[in-house]
Each structure stands twice: as C-alpha cells, then as structure tokens.
Chain A
C-alpha cells in the first residue's frame, strides 16, 4: 500500500511538473551569481538576464552569493529545487578549475547540473607594468627565462580567474615567477600601475581601460582573434606563443533534474538575448566574446564543461594550487 501511494505521489508529481513546464515561468526566476555585484560575471549576468526577462515575461532576479571562489553560490544553487525558478551563472572557475582547487567541493560540474547555455566569455590578456623592460611578448618571454623567480606576478587570490589563468600561463612558458596575491583585481591592478609588481594575466574587462590609458602594457591577448576593443594587441599565436588560448567563459546552468522543457525555454530566451542588437552591443563593448551558433546549445555547454575540467585539473594540481 505504501508503495502504491508513493508511486501515485510520484505520478502526480510528474504530471504537475509537466503542467509547470508548459506554463513556466509563472513567478520571478532567481539567478544566483556566485560573485559580488559589480564584477565581470555579475555584469554579464545582468545584461543578459535583462533581455531574457522580457522574453520570459517574468523578472529574473539576480542574487549575489559570493564566497570561496564562487563555489559557495554554486553549491547552494545546485542544491535548490530543480523547478526552473533557481538558475545560476557559472564560469570558468566554478565549472572548470574548482574541482582541482577545492577537494571538498560539494558538486561535480560535469554531473550535477542541467546546462542551459553559454552566455559570453571575456578574453585573457597578458599585461605588465609600464616600466617593464620588454616591449613585446617575445622580449617578455626572454626576460622571464633569464630572470625566473625575480619576476613578480600578481593575481587576485586563489581561485580567481587571474590566478588560474596565470598558473596555466606559467606552465605553458615553463617559468616560475614569484606569485603575489591580492584580494581582487582592483588592488592588484593598482600595484601593477604603481610598478610594485611586474605582470599578471587578467580579463579584458578589467585591464582594457588601463591599457588604453597607457598605465600598463599589454603583450598579447589569449584568443584566436584580436579584440575590436584593443585592435593593436596581437594574439598569443601572432606573437609567437602556442598553446595559450584561454578565456573566462560565463554560462547559465540549472540544477540537475530541471525538466528539459524548462531548460529549452531558458536556452531559447538566452539565445534570443544574444541575438538582440542592443544586448550584443553592450556585451561587445565590454570586450566580451559571444558564442557562435553551434556553441549555444546545452549539449555544447556540457562538452565545454567536461573539456575544461579535464584541462584545468592537471595544470592546477601540478602547480600545487589546491585550496587544502
């Protein structure tokens, strides 16, 4: 009897979700952004969700749950009801580097989520202080080889994009500069501009204004194409460095078990937002890179997460950059 009640309950539950999926959304959707308001991921989430709200006919409310390199917010989002009313904006760190950095991570990026789609990425640049004794990437790499540990590399804390991409950079060029940690990109850039530290790798959103203002030098951008925001900065490949192409991607996920119909509705709304001229322009103005047609599906995002976890884990573990 108990079994039957359970089965019945499950059936009713299923039917209910079916109806839910058709009428979804009937109330505001919460999107958890696992970083403080105002950072690159938050800005991208707000720009995209602004347009998505109009398509869905319900407001998407951003909730910033920062902490532990974004894993606090993602853990909470992953454990919430899979009904489509709690979604999240994950990124390269939370869904790529985190398993290597946090051994006690309470979620598996490849298994515990229903991917919605890729939103926008921000390319990584290799930047140095104004007085750095080199003017192009080649000169920089030569200097790194000659000086090794004497060079100071800044980053925005363990688990940050600048930290992961910086460790990756060091492993590609086989150098071991001295790492100097800051709490966030702002203070790190401040010391870079003051010539206190030598170089760092960071997202275009953060460094472009200082490059344009002549306060720091840019050696290369780690993408396949140059950025329209900084047309004079060569790509790593053009500058003669192979194997360092990296961007801080941001993507939307729902908790595992979210009905596929709801995921599709959200993906459609996301794709529509990315096609909107105004939204596109706002993202491009930030120096963002938008996913191409084939990269926008939930399946493509699942593949991306799998390849990113496979890419970051060995690099970060080799560098001993584990958070415990």
Chain B
C-alpha cells in the first residue's frame, strides 16, 4: 500500500507540473471540441494531432493524447444527447435516453449527469489502475477466443433486453446487424463476402458510417417530418444542472456502471464496447418501472456514461502493463509511444516509472479538467438547441459529411450515410429499433471471428465452450437472461409497452 502512495505521489509530481497540466487541459479541450463534431472520433483526432506532439517530451505528449481520447469520448456523448448522433459504439446507448431527455427539455440535466458520472467513474478507474493494474493484466490473458465468444453471446442477449417493444422485432434487428457485420474480407480465408465486387466494401462497413446514418441522418429526417416537437425543446430548456432528486435517482446507476465498465474495459479485443450496453441492461432490469427507459430515464444516461468512461480508462491497463493495445485507439497510443522512443511493453513500468505513473495521475487530472470544461459548457450546448431547426439541420448534415469523410477519406462513405439514413427512417416508421441492430453489428464481427478461432483451436469440438469454466459461466448467464426475457409474464409486460 505504501508503494501505491509513493508511486502515486511520483505520478502527481509529474502530472501537476505547469507544462503537463497545460497539456492535459489542451488535450481535453481539443478532444471535447472535436468529439462534439459528429463522426470525428478520437482515432481520427489523435492521428491528425500526432505530429504536433513531436516537439514535446514523451510524457507530456502522451498526457495530451490521452486527454484528447477522454475528451473526444466525452464530446461524443454530447452529440448523442443533443442531436441523437452517437459518434462511437460506446455512446449508442447514451443516445437512447439522453436524447429523449433533451426532447423533454432536460438536456442540461442529461449532460450534467453524464459529466458527473464520468468524473466519478474516472476517479475510481484511476485508482483501480494504480492499485491493481499489474495483477488485473492476468484477466486479459484468461480471456481467449472461447471466453470471448461466450461473452459476445451474452452481449447479444443484452441487445434483446435493450429494445423497447416487440422481442421478435428486436431479434430480427440484431440479426440484420450481425449480417451487416459479415460484409467485407473474411479474416481466415481472405475471401470477399457480400461485397458485390465493390472495392469500397472490401473492408466492410465502418461503424461510424452505419451509426451516423441510422441514428443521425434518420433523426434529421424524422424531425423534418414533424417540426412541432422541436419547438417543445425550444420552449422548455429547463434546469441546467441535475438537482437532488436527480442525484438520488442516479447515484446507484453510476456506481454499478463504474463497476461494470471498469471490469469489461480490461478485456482484450475491445471488451469496453459492451460496458455501456451491459450497464443499460442492468439498470433496466433493476428499475421498478422499466417502461421509463427509452423515454428519458436519467438512470439510462448515468449508468452507461459511467461505464463508458470507466472502460475507456481501464482499457489502458493492457497497454500500460503488457504493451498490448486492446482497441484501435490504444494501438494508436502504442504508435505514439514508439515514435517518442518508448517501446511499450511490460518493462515500461520499471524502465520509465515517471511516464507510467505520470500518465496514470494525469488520467485523474484529465477527468477533473473535463468536469471543469464541461459543466460551464452545458449552458452553451443547451442553448444550441434554441437555434431554429431549419438553421441547425443543414449544419448538422454538413458536419456529418465532413466528419465521415475525414475518417477514411472515402466519398462512398458520405453516400452511405445518406443511404443508411433512409433505411433508418424507414425502420423508425415501421417501429423497429436501431440500437439492437448496432449492437448486433458491433458484436457480430467479434463473435464470428472468435467462434471460428475457438473452433480451429479446439479442432471443431463444441465442448470447448462448456469445458472452460469462464465460458460456461457466461453462457449460463446469457441463457438465464434470455429465459427471463422470454418468460410469458415479462413478454406480456413488453407487449403492453409496445401496443400502448
């Protein structure tokens, strides 16, 4: 324990120097601003700003890049809440209830609880990394393809619970999502699947393209359909910050979300994406009145947002302790480290303790900065909603197009968001929920690849999923959840919601 404190004080000594404080602030600010632009996620941002860090010392550079990462993560939630465009897989669920809150004039409360929940989750996650980072690495190694497949199965069951209304529709949307995820070059054989020989489909459909079209563009179309609902938002902006009742409702979801997100964040292969979905499912299951979910329940923002931030933070554990990046953003951080002459790996902790602990301390500093930057900004963001929609939607459309183009520089991506926008609009009209489809899309690829990997390694024996205890446990949880969802009594409850 003494070690922990001396290490942390070393870290804060590094993180609290004037230069590093400034860099953390700059990183968070830039990250927030860019994250707010739809489509421009942390990967594009960090890649663009990487050269700027060349002149800095490695610790300062990494502190700034990490700041951009959480800033962008946070900024993505802002667009999810205000305009229903989740910039990333992790903010899809935030859009569900967050945007409903905004429509009811509670945008400020939603943004506020997201900021506060994220700060709390970030603080806890920083402590977890500092105290348990090294031993927790083992968890990442326990999760092989078999465990991963079972985890994804559990994730898909979450998707069923996620949806409002008809289970049949939810399941069909999940399956469509899984199908969409199979477009592209097959990993094992290199064959192209469902690409119709079109070169821009060879690498599959980008998540950002699908999410922006299905959520963002479709939302614009729907709003243009009946403009009167926007006027309601304009009239009643409501309180800017959460009050006591809001906190009372939100503190437990924040705690649970933090726990769920922090655990899933450590897993390799982007386990963090499951965090917000899992948190949302748990809140919905625990709620006295699950019908409020999807209609602006504050728990539906507080839980997933905390899970999101906790996961974003703990996904640094495999990177810092093993040098193995669990997702694309972390892979970019590895590149940033190597460019600065630090080879990431298990030795970083002993060879560059000031960098290692400085970065951990700066995570907490960064979270504090985000709170400081964002709470005053809440008022500004909410005022954005007052802008007449006829002026706002062309701006949103333009930013969507620029943002999506900046990711892969593909003109076809811009056309694709239009296409998916139309599809999303039609789905909405027919009463299908887009969220389960996105989850199916995100998890489908991971699920298929890990299933095949696990079966190749087990030489085709399905027993491997039952023989391995963690995998068996996860499958059991999935089964229980599924039975609960399908139980007649619950189904009746769901039908009521749907027909109402």
Contacts and interface: CB of A to CB of B under 8 A. Distances in A.
B47 interface: yes
Contacts of B46: 37
A209 B344 contact: yes
A159 B191 CA distance: 11
A323 interface: yes
Contacts of A22: none
Interface of A: 36-39, 42-43, 46-47, 50, 61-68, 72, 101, 152, 157-159, 178-184, 186-187, 189-191, 193-194, 196-197, 205, 208-210, 212-213, 215, 282, 285-286, 321-324
B203 A68 contact: yes
B457 A197 contact: yes
Interface string B323-361: 111101001111110110101111100000000000000
Given A39-B335, A50-B54, A180-B457, 17 more contacts: A37-B43, A37-B50, A38-B325, A38-B334, A62-B51, A65-B409, A67-B408, A157-B187, A186-B325, A189-B324, A191-B144, A193-B322, A205-B343, A209-B344, A213-B347, A215-B346, A282-B341
A209 B51 CA distance: 24
B345 A183 contact: no
B326 A181 contact: no
A186 B51 contact: no
7 contacts: A37-B50, A65-B408, A187-B269, A209-B323, A210-B346, A286-B343, A322-B190
B325 A196 contact: no
Contact of B202 (A39, A42, A68): A68
Interface in B25-68: 43, 46-47, 50-51, 54
A209 B322 CA distance: 9
A37 B47 contact: yes
A181 B190 CA distance: 10
Contacts of B140: 190
A191 B143 CA distance: 9
Given A38-B336, A67-B203, A194-B142, A187 B345 contact: no
Interface of B: 43, 46-47, 50-51, 54, 140-145, 185, 187-192, 199, 202-203, 268-269, 318, 322-326, 328, 331-336, 338-339, 341, 343-347, 408-409, 449, 453, 456-457, 459
Nearest to B50: A37
B127 to A, nearest CB: 25
A199 to B, nearest CB: 13
Contacts of A65: 408-409
B343 A190 contact: no
B457 A285 contact: no
Contacts of B189: 158
Contact of B328 (A36, A157, A324): A36
B442 to A, nearest CB: 14
The 4 A-B pairs of least Cβ separation, nearest first, read: A209-B345, A38-B335, A158-B190, A213-B346
A302 B203 CA distance: 29
Given A37-B50, A194-B141, A215-B346, A181 B187 contact: yes
Contacts of B185: 68, 158, 323
A64 B141 CA distance: 31
Nearest to B335: A38
Contacts, number: 140
A286 B338 contact: yes
Contacts of B47: 37-38, 64
A159 B324 CA distance: 21
A178 B332 CA distance: 30
B345 A213 contact: yes
A190 B318 CA distance: 9
A183 B187 contact: yes
A36 B345 contact: no
Nearest to B323: A209
A39 to B, nearest CB: 7
A37 B46 CA distance: 9
Contacts of A159: 190
Contacts of B202: 67-68, 72
B351 to A, nearest CB: 10
Contacts of B408: 65-67
B449 A46 contact: no
Q: Which of B143, B334, B336 has the most CB of A within 10 A?
A: B334
B145 A38 contact: no
Nearest to A68: B202
Contacts of A215: 322, 346
Contacts of B142: 194
Nearest to B459: A178
Given A68-B202, A285-B343, A321-B190, A183 B449 contact: yes
A141 to B, nearest CB: 22
Contact of A212 (B144, B322, B345): B345
A130 B333 CA distance: 26
A65 B44 CA distance: 11
Contacts of A61: 51
Contact of A184 (B191, B331, B339): B331
Nearest to B445: A183
A253 B344 CA distance: 30
Contacts of A213: 323, 345-347
Contacts of B347: 209, 212-213
Given A68-B185, A197-B457, A47 B345 contact: no
A119 B144 CA distance: 37
A62 B335 CA distance: 14
A163 to B, nearest CB: 9
A78 B369 CA distance: 45
Given A63-B409, A180-B457, A213-B345, A43 B50 contact: no
B346 A209 contact: yes
Nearest to B326: A186
Contacts of A36: 328, 331-332
A66 B324 CA distance: 20
Contacts of B191: 323-324
B474 to A, nearest CB: 17
Nearest to B204: A67
A43 B342 CA distance: 12
